[in-house]
């Protein structure tokens, strides 16, 4: 059996998978969020570890794992969040700074005005944004008393959450290329910490983790750290890359979209680092067997959050599922479009100044129109992102593999297939992020091959496009017009 640790922004899920890649036991717990100032978001790294340790034990107990049955651990994690700790004592030296934290926004603007963004785009594939880890590490070195001296002396180290958990489990200070590629410090083409970027942010390389393969033995768990099991941590990937692997998007041109509060679409870009494309992020998908697979990524800020806004902000639905019920009462959208730019627009537009806009309302419009327009907007935004990714990768999309909470909305999945013009496929096993971590760990210990992952993935539902080309183009033209108004 394999234990997958899925350490997310608000909680930790642990799932045990058997040799048939089936989940046989799981557990979940939330942990506290800290907001010390407006725009600041922090986690207690010790609490993350304590919750993860406890939940791993529950999952192992629920799966009735006997001694010797567990063969590996896989880890997937919230990306970009930075932890700092003493490698001798294992004690955190500051709260973790979360990916959502915006405290370095002014510093990013300063770097942009100084002309550094082209270098960062070229080396890392990323945009210059406080979302990523580099300026968070710089902030800690500048603002935590004595930290720079400790880091230069080897008495303080940094890492993303995967690195922190691997250290607590095994004592090793390592990370994988998928997580390293989210730091804004990693040359994704050369596969190393970039000396020029480290110098730019004045970060000592010795304080950063060693980058090792995403599948392979990263270290062996200490008996007390994993409830009496001494097994390899053998698979690590950031959550969206793990979902791509969990969806068995192994071949170039295969894509997945995770429909959550926001949505993350990734397309496998093959074995060459993709050129930076407007509105998209280039990233490492995973590193296996000495080969690096790359991906293009699109971040869509507001998808499921727009449905939450219907419920909590407008109070026109009681439950998220009501949006599907209302959408089905209409034959068409009657020209009503909602651009949910409630926090600006993400990929491929990247317009922080865009604002939420509803167009096409008449006296005949009602809450069903708003609900339908909200679901349609999720599909339109995803379509925009995926079309940009197709163009940048040069690889046409043959199908989209979908996961996340909104995949339970069959009306949305059908509409997504219709406006994309390709099938949308939902997997049999919904926990694709944890499954991806388990897949990587299984490959890492030789229990499975990458071909086994490709062949072992199982389809749960398939939505075939059934809309005419004329209707599709008409809807997308209406969406483009609404977008132009939101960005005016």
Q: What is the DSSP string of 6-67?
A: EE-SSEEEEEEE-TTS-EEEEEEEE---B-SSTT--EE-HHHHHHHHHHHHHHHHHHTTPPT
Alpha-carbon gap, residue 40 to 108, rounded angstroms: 15
What is residue 468's predicted lDDT score, i.e. its pLDDT? 92
Those residues with Cβ within 8 angstroms of residue 49's Cβ, 6 or more apart along the chain or in another chain? 164, 165, 168
What is residue 66's predicted lDDT score, i.e. its pLDDT? 85
- Sign of the C-alpha dihedral computed for residues 236, 237, 242 and 246 taken in this order: negative
Contact (Cβ atoms closer than 8 angstroms) between residue 28 and residue 62: no
Give the DSSP letter of residue 344: B
What is residue 430's predicted lDDT score, i.e. its pLDDT? 83
Taking the chain (488 residues) in runs of 10, the rounded mean pLDDT of each run is 92 92 91 85 94 94 89 94 95 92 89 94 90 94 94 95 96 96 95 96 96 93 90 95 95 91 89 84 93 92 86 88 92 92 82 85 92 95 91 86 91 96 93 93 93 90 94 94 85
What is residue 8's predicted lDDT score, i.e. its pLDDT? 87
What is residue 110's predicted lDDT score, i.e. its pLDDT? 94
What is residue 343's predicted lDDT score, i.e. its pLDDT? 75
Contact (Cβ atoms closer than 8 angstroms) between residue 72 and residue 234: yes
**Nearest-10 Cα torsion for 86, 90, 94, 95:** 150
CA-nearest of 302, 282, 169 to 236 is: 169
What is residue 480's predicted lDDT score, i.e. its pLDDT? 93
2-239, superfamily in CATH? Answer: ATPase, nucleotide binding domain (3.30.420.40)
């Amino acid at each position: 059996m394999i234990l997958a640790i899925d350490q997310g922004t608000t909680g930790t899920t642990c799932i045990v998978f058997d040799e048939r890649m089936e989940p046989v036991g799981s557990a979940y717990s939330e942990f506290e969020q800290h907001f010390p100032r407006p725009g600041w978001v922090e986690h207690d790294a010790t609490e993350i570890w304590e919750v993860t340790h406890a939940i791993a034990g529950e999952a192992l107990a629920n799966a009735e794992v006997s001694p010797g049955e567990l063969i590996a651990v896989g880890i997937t994690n919230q990306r970009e969040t930075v932890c700092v700790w003493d490698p001798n004592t294992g004690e955190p030296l500051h709260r973790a700074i979360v990916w959502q934290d915006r405290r370095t926004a002014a510093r990013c603007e300063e770097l942009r005005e100084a002309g550094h963004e082209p270098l960062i785009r070229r080396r890392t594939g990323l945009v210059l944004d406080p979302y990523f880890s580099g300026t968070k590490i710089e902030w800690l070195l500048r603002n935590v008393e004595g930290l720079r001296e400790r880091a230069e002396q080897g008495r303080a180290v940094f890492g993303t959450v995967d690195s922190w958990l691997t250290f607590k489990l095994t004592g090793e200070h390592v990370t994988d290329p998928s997580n390293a590629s989210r730091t804004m410090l990693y040359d994704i083409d050369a596969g190393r910490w970039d000396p020029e970027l480290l110098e730019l942010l004045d970060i000592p390389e010795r304080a950063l983790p060693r980058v090792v393969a995403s599948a392979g033995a990263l270290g062996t768990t200490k008996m007390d750290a994993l409830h009496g099991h001494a097994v390899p941590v053998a698979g690590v990937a950031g959550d969206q890359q793990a979902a791509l692997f969990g969806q068995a998007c192994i071949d170039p041109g295969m894509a997945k979209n995770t429909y959550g509060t926001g949505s993350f679409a990734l397309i496998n870009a093959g074995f060459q680092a993709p050129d930076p494309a407007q509105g998209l992020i280039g990233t490492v998908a995973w590193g296996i067997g000495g080969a690096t697979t790359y991906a293009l990524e699109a971040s869509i800020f507001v998808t499921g959050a727009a449905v939450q806004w219907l419920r909590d902000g407008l109070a026109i639905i009681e439950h998220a599922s009501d949006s599907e019920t209302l959408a089905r009462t209409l034959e068409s959208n009657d020209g009503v479009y909602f651009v949910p730019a409630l926090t600006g627009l993400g990929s491929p537009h990247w317009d922080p100044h865009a604002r939420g806009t509803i167009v096409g309302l008449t006296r005949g419009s009602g809450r069903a129109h708003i609900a339908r327009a909200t679901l349609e907007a999720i599909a339109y935004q995803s379509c925009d992102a995926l079309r940009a990714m197709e163009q940048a990768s040069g690889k046409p999309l043959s199908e989209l593999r979908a996961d996340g909470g909104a995949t339970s909305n069959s009306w949305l999945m059908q509409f997504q297939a219709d406006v994309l013009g390709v099938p949308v496929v939902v997997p049999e096993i919904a926990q694709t992020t944890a499954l991806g971590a388990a897949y990587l760990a299984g490959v890492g210990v030789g229990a499975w091959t990458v071909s086994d992952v490709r062949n072992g993935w199982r389809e749960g539902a398939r939505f075939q496009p059934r809309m005419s080309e004329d209707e599709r183009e008409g809807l997308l033209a209406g969406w483009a017009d609404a977008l132009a108004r939101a960005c005016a």
